[in-house]
Amino acid sequence: MESRAHLFKPAAREALHNPDLQQALTRVQAGFVGKRRTLVNKFPDFEGLRDRGQAMKDHTLAHLDYYLEQFEAKVHEAGGHVHWAETAEDAQRIVADICRQADARMVTKGKTMAGEEVGINEALDAAGLETVETDLGEYIIQLAKEPPSHIIAPAIHKTRQQICDLFDEHHHQGTFKEKLREVPDLVNEARGILRGKFLNADVGITGANCLVAETGSMFLVTNEGNGDLTHSLPRVHVAIAGIEKLVPTLDDASTLIRLLARSATGQEMTAYTTMVTGPRRGDDTDGPEEFHIVLLDHGRTNMMSGRFREMLRCIRCGACMNHCPVYASIGGHAYGWVYPGPMGSVLTPIFVGLDKTKDLPNACTLNGRCQSVCPVRIPLPDLLRDLREAQFDQHLTPGTTRHGLAVWAWFARRPRVYNALSRLGIGLLGRLGRRRGRFRRLPLAGAWTAGRDFPAPQRTTFQAAWRQHLSRRQTHE
Amino acid sequence: MSDARTRILGKVRAAMGRETTPTPADVQAARAGALGKGTPQRPVWEESDLARFCRCIDDAAGTWVTVPTLAEAGTAVADYLAEREAGTTVHRAPDPRLDHVAWPGHLAVERATDGRKALAAVSCAVAGVAETGSLALVSGPDNPATLAFLPDYHIVVLGTADVVPWFEDLWARMREQEGFPPRSFNFITGPSRTADVEQTLQLGAHGPRSLHVILVENMP
Amino acid sequence: MSQASSPAPRPTVALFVTCLVDLFRPSVGFATAQLLEQAGYSVDVPEAQTCCGQPAYNSGDRAHAKQIAKQVIATFREYAHVVVPSGSCAGTITAHYPDLLRDEPDWAQAARDLADRTWELTRFLVEVAQVDLPTVDHKTTTTYHDSCSGLRELGIRSQPRQLLGRVNGLQLREMADTDVCCGFGGTFCVKYPDISERLVSNKVDNIAATGADMVVAGDLGCLFNIAGRLHRLEKPVRAYHVAEILAGTARSEPAIGEGDRS
Ligand code: SF4
């Protein structure tokens, strides 16, 4: 997918003034935050579970070559194919080739963020295939020709009214069907249309929530059941997964799923959690004849050596964006690429390039709420700060900021000069603002005073007043 | 050996500062060091495993009923379909255990090799997990996977003795079984659902609109 | 024991007043010093202090951040306790200096040492000083804003509430989303003013919804942001630093952003 992250500022401004989007975003809070909290409070030792999740993922990443090889051998044993994709182009070519060899005409897709990352849909379009997204949210945004705005609720930016309009435009053309209004009707209509697609698809493409080295299996977690219809009905099942999705054992997969379900949707278990291992067995009466798994690097190995390896623990639960006040204000599209919110602000600069994503690491107050809910304890604010440092080192930080910091630091390291000058400046500002107590406008502070008054300082600096206080005290004693 | 494979694994090793894949013994030792031997953190409950299991099914918007023997499951199926006005035809999985069911005469019972034609289907679970109220279904000729996803009404038969407390217990049991893992090992927790329109929960997105569990006290 | 035991002499505490308090609200510094003295400590304000370096650190300017950190470490080397009336600045010292200086083992050690001696004010009063402060009266309905660094880097939540609970006449009313950022974020508020404005507007809405006539917090950054927005919207909620309430000096001092009619 093409990145639009360099347009963050205008996109964010537009989002803040988009009433439909703002209406839709109020639901993020209501839908996810409360449900997660209830379940976390109910769990006897959720902090311990997070520790274990972190330790398990760290261990896996530190031995990723071992677990990848073990996984590959087990997939082969089960009769599946393993493909290795270093780049987005590799992944596109591999998937397009599989479809071509299968003589495919129609492809159904379950939600896959790795697939979004490498632009699988574009590749399938180019190969002349009909591709149908089957997750209801993905289906809605496919009709709207928009990218997802949330990693687990891709259409969260859409209001019901907008979805009614979309369905009317796409489903009712040339019919006398009335425009739908209610959620059950919308869901039902999509169900009917997509059922036909499921039954006629030649290839089904899904992502994977984790890959299990012990058995060569992949786990797929959904609530709709679309993932299962996607992998069970067509002749060929292709799964795309980043290499960081490995976990060692089935027990580890259970740890991960306990974390994922609670952190993502606030459920103890999604309606469908499925462990898929290879293609249809000899005497099976349904299921695909071929199973392919595409193991995607796409920059992940570059993250293995430094601090950003921590980001590879990410299990794509979306909790960080659900709890991010910036995401809640501007939604996912402003971030400009596949992954929005805190995790996206770390990943996009790494995948797309620091120079094309200058705003992302900075558009954050470093309030740390994301880190406090991340099921695998990724220190997202620290990683964002590290990216700011990389920007600074590569001279991507704006000149005004750099110089401002240099001047300020010069003073900050010279307390005498600093104290003398600040006393003067504050004395002046204090006198000016004393009566009213605040400024509606101030030179050089336009960004602040656009939406806020600027509280006036008190008469003098603390340092100056304290010295006075001390000498007064001495004379008294 | 594809080049991409060699390069990806090479980069992983380079990042970890080694030239070859670690040995299984080394990895096991590292794992023991990182994760220790204690049991993982997981939910706990005071009631019996079966009671917890049933409560979780309720929470997930599923329904359940208990019958003494497998034979009586037939009446339970008929009652359920009647109550839901779901017709009188049922597609049953070929699972031989279902041969013990006494199907009431008015039901048309068909053996299904997949779920394509079924409106209501009956399959057998190998286990239930009390932790989450999940049914564990093994795909195969006995229980075709699509039978659990295409029908509107999915009825699952499970022996009460097959309810295990946690997932780890299930894995321990399954690892012993021949043919494990199957192509598709399905954990089903309530009917299909979506919240993709305005975060409003709606049942019956793509899979079954309702899920009913028949718990058999004396499963053969 | 028949004799009333006089409290053991307490060590001298260094007050790290923070740049915002120094420049904009000295009354917070005085209130802090008063509270520490009432708790039996004598208070030193080293003259060589300016700022903790957070603006440089959070802007990716590691070199300058390190220089300032070293200066702070040197300035406060001698003190048994360093008390800071800000969760944000205390958090920078305790949670970030050791990492900032990780490449220089001696300095990293000194940073960890300072981190162990550095306390946010309310936490210090509750967990270290552990004395009953003189009672103050302040009849008001108040809501408390948790600053993000205090809350998440230092675990400050119960301490200020516990202390406020001892103020006569003060009734505490919690707002919704207490754990959500007010949108200040240091330079964030001027780099992304419209996003910041949205965040502070949400915060102000939550404050107003409590019906409280006062909002109190432990960080001047948040308070300036919140008070600035409250004033712009002409909401009749007054903003004070928690130290000013606890010391009882708030009643004689105009609230943040309020004019001095004296
Ligand atoms: S960074 Fe953490 S919270 Fe965010 S999606 Fe990844 S795992 Fe979830």
User: How large is the greatest C-alpha to C-alpha distance in chain A, in angstroms?
Assistant: 100
Give residue C109's Cα distance to chain centre.
25
pLDDT at position A474, please?
84
Q: Which DSSP state fits C129?
A: I
Asked if A326 and A338 touch (Cβ cutoff 8 Å), the reply is no
Number of residues that make up chain B: 220
C182 phi and psi, to 5 degrees?
Answer: -85, -5
Omega cis (within 30) before B40: no
Size of interface A-B (CB pairs under 8 A): 264
pLDDT at B156 over 90: yes
CA atoms within 13 A on the CB side of A315: 33
What average pLDDT does range A346-371 have in this prediction?
96
Q: Alpha-carbon distance A291 to A232, whole Å?
A: 10
Is C254 in Cβ contact with A451 (below 8 Å)? no
Q: Alpha-carbon distance A2 to A337, whole Å?
A: 7
pLDDT at C9 over 80: no
A317 within ligand 1 shell (Cβ under 6 A):
yes
pLDDT at position B1, please?
46
A376 within ligand 1 shell (Cβ under 6 A):
yes
B213 phi and psi, to 5 degrees?
Answer: -110, 130
B31 and B90 together in one domain: no
pLDDT at A53 over 90: yes
Task: Give B116's contacts (C-beta < 8 A, 6+ positions apart).
Answer: A199, B146, B150
Cα-Cα-Cα-Cα torsion B62, B65, B70, B74, nearest 10 degrees, comes to -80
Distance from the Cα of A228 to chain B's closest Cα (Å) equals 7
Average pLDDT, chain A: 93
**Residues of chain A contacting residue B187, judged by C-beta atoms under 8 Å apart:** 269, 272-275
A113 within ligand 1 shell (Cβ under 6 A):
no
B97 and B191 together in one domain: yes
B92 and B187 together in one domain: yes
**pLDDT band at C1; cut points 50, 70, 90:** very low
Domain count, chain B: 2
Number of residues that make up chain A: 477
Distance A367 CA to ligand 1 centre (A): 16
**Chains B, A in contact, 3 or more Cβ pairs below 8 Å:** yes
Q: Alpha-carbon distance C107 to C112, whole Å?
A: 9
**Shortest-distance atom of ligand 1 to CA A311:** 1
pLDDT at position A429, please?
85
pLDDT at position A435, please?
82
Q: What are the residue ranges spanned by the domains of chain C?
A: 12-126, 135-257
Q: Which DSSP state fits B189?
A: -
User: How large is the greatest C-alpha to C-alpha distance in chain B, in angstroms?
Assistant: 71
Distance A319 CA to ligand 1 centre (A): 6
**Residue B41 domain-assigned?**
no
Q: Distances in Å between the alpha carbon of A400 and those of A157, A358, A406, C150?
A: 35, 15, 10, 30
pLDDT at B171 over 80: yes
Give residue C243's Cα distance to chain centre.
8
Asked if B123 and B136 touch (Cβ cutoff 8 Å), the reply is no
Q: Alpha-carbon distance A268 to A77, whole Å?
A: 32
Radius of gyration, alpha carbons of chain B: 21
Which of B37, B38, B26, C62 has the alpha carbon at shortest distance from A385?
Answer: C62
Asked if C31 and C155 touch (Cβ cutoff 8 Å), the reply is no
DSSP SS3 for B215: strand
pLDDT at C207 over 90: yes
* pTM (two decimals): 0.95
**Residue B43 domain-assigned?**
no
What average pLDDT does range A62-85 have in this prediction?
98
Asked if A190 and A135 touch (Cβ cutoff 8 Å), the reply is no
C227 has a chain A CB within 8 A of its CB: yes
Class in CATH terms, C135-257: alpha beta
What average pLDDT does range A370-383 have in this prediction?
98
Closest C-alpha to ligand 1, atom 7: A314
A385 within ligand 1 shell (Cβ under 6 A):
no
DSSP SS3 for B164: strand
Q: Alpha-carbon distance A401 to C191, whole Å?
A: 10
pLDDT at position C259, please?
87
SS (HEC) of chain A? CCCCHHHHHHHHHHHHCCHHHHHHHHHHHHHHHHHHHHHHHHCCCHHHHHHHHHHHHHHHHHCHHHHHHHHHHHHHHCCCEEEEECCHHHHHHHHHHHHHHCCCCEEEECCCHHHHHHCHHHHHHHCCCEEEECCHHHHHHHHHCCCCCCCCCCCCCCCHHHHHHHHHHHHCCCCCCCCCCCHHHHHHHHHHHHHHHHHHCCEEEECCCEEECCCCEEEEEECCCHHHHHHHCCCEEEEEEEHHHEECCHHHHHHHHHHHHHHHCCCCCCCEEEEECCCCCCCCCCCCCEEEEEEECCCCHHHCCCHHHHHHHCCCCCHHHHCCHHHHHHCCHHHCCCCCHHHHHHHHHHHHCHHHCCCCCCCCCCCCHHHHHCCCCCCHHHHHHHHHHHHHHCCCCCHHHHHHHHHHHHHHCCHHHHHHHHHHHHHHHHHHHCCCCEECCCCCCHHHHCCCCEECCCCCCHHHHHHHHHHHHHHHC
Helices (H), B17-149: 24-35, 49-59, 73-84
**Chains C, A in contact, 3 or more Cβ pairs below 8 Å:** yes
pLDDT at position C231, please?
95
Distance from the Cα of B90 to chain A's closest Cα (Å) equals 18
Q: Alpha-carbon distance A466 to A421, whole Å?
A: 16
- Mutate-to-test residue for ligand 1 from A376, A383, A384, highest number of ligand atoms within 8 A of CB: A376
Task: Give B9's contacts (C-beta < 8 A, 6+ positions apart).
Answer: A65, A68, A69, B21
pLDDT at position A203, please?
98
pLDDT at position C5, please?
46
Rounded (10°) angle between helices C193-209 and C220-232: 80
The model's pLDDT over A150-184, given as tens digits with 9 standing for 90+, comes to 999 999 999 999 999 999 999 988 777 888 888 99
Asked if A129 and A107 touch (Cβ cutoff 8 Å), the reply is yes
Which of A440, A454, A448 has the alpha carbon at shortest distance from C228?
Answer: A454
Residue with tokens 């929960």: B201
What average pLDDT does range A349-372 have in this prediction?
96
What average pLDDT does range C21-49 have in this prediction?
95
Distance from the Cα of B94 to chain A's closest Cα (Å) equals 11
Q: Which CATH architecture has domain A58-301?
A: 3-Layer(aba) Sandwich (3.40)
CA angle, residues B86, B90, B93, in degrees to nearest 5: 140
Percentage of chain B with pLDDT > 90?
90
pLDDT at position B192, please?
94
pLDDT at C262 over 70: no
pLDDT at position C205, please?
97
Interface of C with A in 41-60 (CB under 8 A): 45, 47-51, 53, 55-60
pLDDT at position C124, please?
97
Q: Distances in Å between the alpha carbon of B129 and those of A147, A148, A377, B187, B188?
A: 37, 34, 28, 9, 10
pLDDT at position A186, please?
93
Number of residues that make up chain C: 262
Minimum CA–CA partner of B152 in chain A: A191
B13 and B69 together in one domain: no
C23 has a chain A CB within 8 A of its CB: yes
Q: Which one-letter amino acid corresponds to residue B205?
A: A
Percentage of chain C with pLDDT > 70?
96
Give one DSSP letter per residue of C81-128, joined into a string: EEEES-HHHHHIIIIIHHHHTTTSHHHHHHHHHHHHHEEEHHHIIIII
Is A451 in Cβ contact with C229 (below 8 Å)? yes
Task: Give A104's contacts (C-beta < 8 A, 6+ positions apart).
Answer: A129, A202, A203, A236
Closest C-alpha to ligand 1, atom 2: A374
pLDDT at position C2, please?
39
**pLDDT band at C3; cut points 50, 70, 90:** very low
Measured in Å, how far apart are chain A's first and last C-alpha atoms?
Answer: 74
Interface of A with C in 377-416 (CB under 8 A): 382, 385, 387-393, 397, 401-402, 405-406, 408-409, 411-413, 415-416
pLDDT at position C261, please?
64
B124 and B210 together in one domain: yes
Size of interface A-C (CB pairs under 8 A): 214
Pairing of strands B184-188, A272-276: antiparallel
B28 and B65 together in one domain: no
The domain of B144 spans 49-218
Is B186 in Cβ contact with A274 (below 8 Å)? yes
Distance from the Cα of C2 to chain A's closest Cα (Å) equals 33
| Higher per-residue pLDDT: A401 or B73 | B73
The model's pLDDT over B58-110, given as tens digits with 9 standing for 90+, comes to 999 999 999 999 999 999 999 999 999 999 999 999 999 999 999 999 999 99
Distance A308 CA to ligand 1 centre (A): 14
User: Which candidate in A22, A232, A262 is best for mutational testing of the B interface (most B CBs within 10 A)?
Assistant: A232
DSSP SS3 for C153: helix
CATH 3.40.50.10420 residue spans of chain A: 58-301
Q: Alpha-carbon distance C84 to C91, whole Å?
A: 10
pLDDT at A1 over 80: no
| Higher per-residue pLDDT: C132 or A380 | A380
The model's pLDDT over C150-177, given as tens digits with 9 standing for 90+, comes to 999 999 999 999 999 999 999 999 999 9
pLDDT at C6 over 70: no
A80 within ligand 1 shell (Cβ under 6 A):
no
Distance C174 CA to ligand 1 centre (A): 29
User: Which candidate in C68, C260, C262 is best for mutational testing of the A interface (most A CBs within 10 A)?
Assistant: C260
User: Per mean pLDDT, which range of A151-160, A171-180, C84-93, C207-216 is the poorest?
Assistant: A171-180
The model's pLDDT over B108-148, given as tens digits with 9 standing for 90+, comes to 999 998 888 889 999 999 999 999 999 999 999 999 999 99
The model's pLDDT over C242-252, given as tens digits with 9 standing for 90+, comes to 999 999 999 89
Measured in Å, how far apart are chain B's first and last C-alpha atoms?
Answer: 49
pLDDT at position A422, please?
84
